[in-house]
């Protein structure tokens, strides 16, 4: 893989950009791999990357039914933060946030990590108490957050209406090193690095069945034919239940649509990320100037990558209460993704009842921020059979009642 650098740009400028190579290869599948990962979203690609990088396991295929990054990874509002409540969550989300700090250098690919700061607004007394509790927990976990008052919120976000008609801003949970990154670039950067290690990323290759013998996985049947493997990672977000059914077990998970929209581009007006969880909206401004807006999940299970219409109206109406200026903006595009939600709003990173099959899912409305940390831990789980980062997130917790309740930190209305 040729390194991207200022020197490379200058060199290619002089030879009419004829020397750039494909970012990743487009191979046909081999008959067998040591590890197959199903799903070329951020989590699947990061898992493959750290398998190679940390454990030298490179006979790996990542199978993707569509195009890589075309699932939730390329559809989210890119918010990165680690202000969760419980210790196992703080560990994996903060590991992830810290990996984001260096990810562009690590992958030699600009993922445009922008630690511009994230505020979760407190607009009810209940939220004030919840976020104060989180700030105290984060202090013990060495996650840098603080509870700030309304004056400081106004200073950070001049366009906000602190005295909103229904829900005045009472303060907020502020994480100064939270922020955003370019979602496609995260997938593309990991894909390029995986391909450079010799891994095969195979797009338009849908897994249709999972084969096993004597309780152990032996391979998958795909739209490009059968492929054998010793180990299988299922990393398919909203389709996790479908793949689990192929393997013969059930997951405590629901799939629903979550949607987002962007406005026309405007001049810079807000240089932090704001989540207003009581009124069900969150907003940041993209580098192009568009206001990036998201709302709550659909109230019923579905597999549409669109979301229900009334949500657009509700999200915009809610945000206008807190940001009156957006009432004058035209909205340009809207889309949805299928998110995989567990009862305790925490992910599942786990072995499964089938030997050799591992599952990484349940990131729900909040897994973009977790991509590097999840890949780091999941690779260790597959390579070594256990990982301190993933231990608490095993499937057993649902049987044993060890829930990791993150319904406040999840932030998005479910």
Asked if residues 351 and 189 have their Cβ atoms less than 8 Å apart, the reply is no
At which residue do the structure tokens 């969880």 appear?
277
Q: What token pair was written down for 16?
A: 């009419």
298 binds ligand FAD (CB under 6 A): no
User: Which residues ranging from 177 to 216 are in contact with ligand FAD (CB under 6 A)?
Assistant: 206-207
- Complex with ligand PYC: residue 222 or 277, whichever CB lies closer: 277
3-state secondary structure of 155: helix
DSSP 302: -
Specify the pairing of strand 225-234 against strand 216-222.
Answer: antiparallel
Residue placing its CB nearer to ligand FAD in the complex, 63 or 217? 63
Cβ 37 vs Cβ 44: under 8 Å = yes
Q: Which of 48, 79, 90, 186 binds ligand FAD (CB under 6 A)?
A: 79
Nearer to ligand PYC, 33 or 84 (CB): 84
Question: Closer CB to ligand PYC, residue 52 or residue 337?
Answer: 337
Q: Pull the structure tokens for residue 231.
A: 């180990």
Q: Is the dihedral of CA 130, 133, 137, 139 positive or negative?
A: positive
Check binding of 368 to ligand FAD (CB under 6 A): yes
Q: How far is the CB of 123 from ligand FAD (least distance, A)?
A: 19
In the chain, what's the furthest Cα-to-Cα distance?
64
Give the nearer residue to ligand FAD in terms of CB position, either 47 or 123.
47
∠ at Cα 205 (208, 40), nearest 5°? Answer: 105
In whole angstroms, what is the distance from residue 368 CA to residue 176 CA?
A: 18
Q: With binding defined as CB under 6 A, does residue 43 bind ligand PYC?
A: no
Position 366 contacts ligand PYC (CB under 6 A): yes
Q: Does 81 bind ligand PYC (CB under 6 A)?
A: yes
What is the rounded CA–CA span in Å between residue 263 and residue 411? 22
409 binds, among ligand PYC, ligand FAD, none (CB under 5 to 8 A by kind): none
Output 235 or 379, the one with its CB closest to ligand FAD. 235
Query: Which residue in the set 47, 72, 73, 77 belongs to the binding site for ligand PYC (CB under 6 A)?
Result: 77
Tokens of 292: 């990036």
Question: What is the rounded radius of gyration, in angstroms, for the C-alpha atoms of the chain?
Answer: 21
| Partner touching 411 among ligand PYC, ligand FAD, none, CB below 5 to 8 Å by kind | ligand PYC
316 and 330 Cβ atoms separated by less than 8 Å: no
Binds ligand PYC by CB under 6 A, chosen from 36, 319, 412, 413:
412
State which of positions 219-278 bind ligand FAD (CB under 6 A). 235-237, 239, 243, 258-260
- Does 217 sit near ligand FAD (CB under 6 A)? no
Stretch that binds ligand FAD, among 4-12, 25-33, 69-77, 397-405 (CB under 6 A): 69-77
- The upper half-sphere exposure of residue 372, i.e. CA atoms within 13 Å in the direction of its Cβ, equals 27
Tokens matching residue 176: 């100064």
Q: Pick one of 44, 69, 294, 372: the residue that binds ligand PYC (CB under 6 A).
A: 294
CA distances from 69 to 72, 119, 191, 197, 199 (A): 7, 27, 9, 19, 17
Q: How far apart are CA 369 and CA 25, in angstroms?
A: 27
Residues binding ligand PYC: number (CB under 6 A): 10
What is the CA angle 39-44-48, rounded to 5?
125
- The reply to whether 121 sits near ligand FAD by the rule CB under 6 A is no
Output the smallest distance, CB 220 to ligand FAD, in A. 8
74 binds ligand PYC (CB under 6 A): no
Q: Binding partner of residue 377 among ligand PYC, ligand FAD, none, CB under 5 to 8 Å per kind?
A: none
CA–chain centroid gap for 260, Å, is 14
Note the residues at the interface with ligand FAD (CB under 6 A): 38-44, 63-66, 70-73, 75-79, 206-207, 235-237, 239, 243, 258-260, 294, 337, 339, 363, 365-369
Note the residues at the interface with ligand PYC (CB under 6 A): 77, 79, 81, 275, 282, 294, 365-366, 411-412
């Amino acid at each position: 893989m040729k390194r991207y650098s200022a020197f490379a740009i200058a060199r290619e400028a002089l030879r009419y950009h004829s020397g750039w190579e494909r970012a990743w290869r487009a191979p046909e599948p081999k008959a067998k791999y040591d590890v197959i990962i199903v799903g070329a979203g951020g989590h699947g690609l990061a898992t493959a990357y750290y398998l190679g990088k940390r454990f030298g396991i490179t006979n790996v295929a990542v199978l993707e039914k569509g195009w890589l990054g075309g699932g939730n990874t390329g559809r989210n509002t890119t918010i990165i933060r680690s202000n969760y409540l419980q210790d196992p969550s703080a560990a994996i989300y903060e590991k992830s946030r810290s990996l984001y700090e260096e990810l562009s250098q690590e992958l030699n690919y600009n993922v445009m990590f922008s630690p511009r700061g994230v505020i979760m607004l407190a607009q009810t007394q209940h939220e004030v108490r919840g976020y104060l509790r989180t700030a105290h927990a984060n202090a013990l976990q060495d996650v840098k957050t603080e509870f700030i008052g309304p004056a400081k919120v106004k200073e950070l976000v001049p366009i906000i209406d602190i005295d909103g008609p229904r829900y005045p801003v009472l303060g907020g949970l502020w994480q100064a090193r939270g922020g955003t990154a370019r979602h496609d670039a995260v997938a593309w950067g990991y894909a390029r690095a995986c391909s450079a290690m010799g891994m095969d990323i195979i797009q338009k290759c849908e897994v249709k069945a999972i084969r096993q013998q004597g309780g152990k996985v032996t391979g998958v049947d795909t739209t490009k034919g059968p492929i054998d493997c010793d180990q299988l990672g299922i990393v398919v977000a909203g389709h996790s239940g479908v793949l689990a059914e192929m393997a013969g077990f059930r997951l405590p998970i629901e799939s629903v649509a979550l949607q987002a929209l962007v406005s026309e581009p405007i001049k810079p007006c807000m240089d932090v990320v704001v989540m207003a969880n009581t009124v069900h909206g969150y907003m940041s401004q993209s580098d192009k100037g568009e206001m990036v807006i998201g709302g709550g999940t659909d109230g019923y299970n579905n597999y549409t990558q669109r979301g229900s219409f009334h949500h657009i109206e509700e999200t915009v109406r809610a945000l206008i209460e807190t940001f009156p200026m957006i009432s004058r903006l035209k909205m340009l595009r809207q889309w949805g993704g299928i998110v995989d939600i567990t009862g305790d709003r925490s992910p599942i990173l786990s072995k499964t009842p089938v030997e050799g099959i591992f599952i990484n899912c349940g990131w729900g409305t909040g897994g973009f921020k977790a991509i590097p940390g999840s890949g780091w831990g999941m690779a260790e789980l597959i390579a070594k059979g256990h990982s301190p980062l993933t231990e608490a997130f095993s499937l057993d917790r649902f049987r044993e009642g060890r829930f990791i309740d993150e319904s406040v930190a999840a932030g998005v209305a479910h």
